Amino acid sequence: MTSSICRSEKVSEPPENGGPPDSFHKWSKFCRKCGAGMSVVDEGDKTWRHMCINCKYIDYFNPKMVVGCIVEHEGRILLCKRGIDPCKGKWTVPAGFMELDESTAGGAARETYEEAAANVEIVAPYFHLDIPAIGQSYVLFRSKLAEPYTFSSGTETLDVKLFEPDAVPFQELAFSSVSIALRHYIEDLRDGRFRVHHAEIEKLPGSAPNDPHSFRLRNHMQFRIESS
Ligand SMILES: [Zn+2]
């Protein structure tokens, strides 16, 4: 089976003049307080901000939290085939952006229900992954399929399946974060003892979300935990 590379729109080279990336100017065009136009200003040390030209309101952009579950059932791992871009048709664990009114574990369970119509019992935090180049921070939990132990495709999912650890389709996974987390999960599974992991993913500018040669893992920390 050959893998294909997903289209990427997020990681771009900073311009040579030392200014913000070209796309940065498009993020905020009008002030949400007064409706006037926005300017891009250097807050100091090349920290670029969007500031209203009228009322000076600053529109901050901060990283987003992505929360999700590695769901286990009878020794197998639940994966969803994505029905939307980016990476439509690729496999992933159920995960998505955290909402304002929920916890990380609550959001992970909600995303699992939305994408796989599956109830889960959260077991433990598993992998915290920062991806500074695209402003995302992942929190993935280990979980077990819960009653009624059923699953099916959600509106943004083409298929949902349980995979034996040896059969996880690494060449057809959607995201570097999911690939890294699942490789460690299977390693821990074989080791008979789960760890809690933290790491950063360093992405190459212009790289696709699932290109296996487009990133490297940095500052990987892992800790054994007693209960699993
Ligand atoms: Zn304003």
ipTM of the complex: 0.99
The residues whose Cβ lies within 5 A of ligand 1, an ion, are 31, 33-34, 36, 52, 54-55, 57
What's the pLDDT band for 8 if we cut at 50, 70, 90? low
Q: What is the mean pLDDT of residues 19-30?
A: 82
- Whole-number Å distance, alpha carbon 44 to ligand 1 midpoint, is 21
Expressed in angstroms and rounded, the spacing between residue 198 Cα and the centre of ligand 1 is 39
Pair 161, 215 in one domain: yes
Strands 48-52 and 38-42, how do they pair? antiparallel
Burial of 18 (0-12, 13-18, 19+ CB in 10 A): exposed
> Residue 191's pLDDT is what?
92
Is the pLDDT at 66 greater than 90? The verdict is yes
Please say whether the beta carbons of 185 and 177 come within 8 A. Answer: no
Ligand 1 centroid to residue 32 C-alpha, Å = 7
What pLDDT does residue 2 have?
44
Q: How far, in Å, is the centroid of ligand 1 from the Cα of 36? A: 5
Q: Is the domain of 35 the same as that of 124?
A: no
Q: What is the pLDDT of residue 114?
A: 96
Q: For the residues 171-175, what does the mean pLDDT come to?
A: 92
Left if phi > 0, otherwise alpha if psi is -120 to 50, otherwise beta: which for 164?
beta
Q: How far is the centre of ligand 1, averaged over its atoms, from the C-alpha of 33 (Å)?
A: 5
User: What local confidence, expressed as pLDDT, does residue 224 receive?
Assistant: 85
Instruction: Give the pLDDT confidence score for residue 35 in this predicted structure.
Output: 97
Q: Answer yes or no: are the C-beta atoms of 160 and 73 closer than 8 Å.
A: no
From the CA of 55, how far away is ligand 1's center (Å)? 4
Residue 119: domain span: 64-224
97-129 pLDDT tens trace: 999 999 999 999 999 999 999 999 999 999 999
Residue 140 lies in a domain: yes
Are 151 and 181 found together in one domain?
Answer: yes
Cα 22 to ligand 1 centre (Å) = 22
Interval between CA 25 and ligand 1 midpoint (Å): 16
Mean pLDDT of the chain: 90
Based on C-alpha coordinates, what's the Rg of the chain? 19
Total domains present in the chain = 2
Picking from 40, 59, 78, the residue at the C-terminal end of a domain is 59
What is the tens place of the pLDDT at every residue in 41-56? 998 888 899 999 999 9
The CATH number assigned to the domain holding 210 equals 3.90.79.10
Centre of ligand 1 from the C-alpha of residue 82, in Å: 39
User: Do 85 and 193 reside in the same domain of the chain?
Assistant: yes
C-alpha of residue 76 to centroid of ligand 1, in Å: 53
Compare 172 and 26 and report the one with higher pLDDT. Answer: 172
Distance 19 CA to ligand 1 centre (A): 23
User: What is the whole-number distance in angstroms between the Cα of residue 162 and the centre of ligand 1?
Assistant: 51
Q: What are the pLDDT digits (tens) for 25-43?
A: 788 999 999 999 999 999 8
pLDDT for residue 23 is more than 90: no
| Residues 123 and 162 placed together within one structural domain of the fold | yes
Percent of the chain with pLDDT over 90: 71
pLDDT reported for residue 215: 86
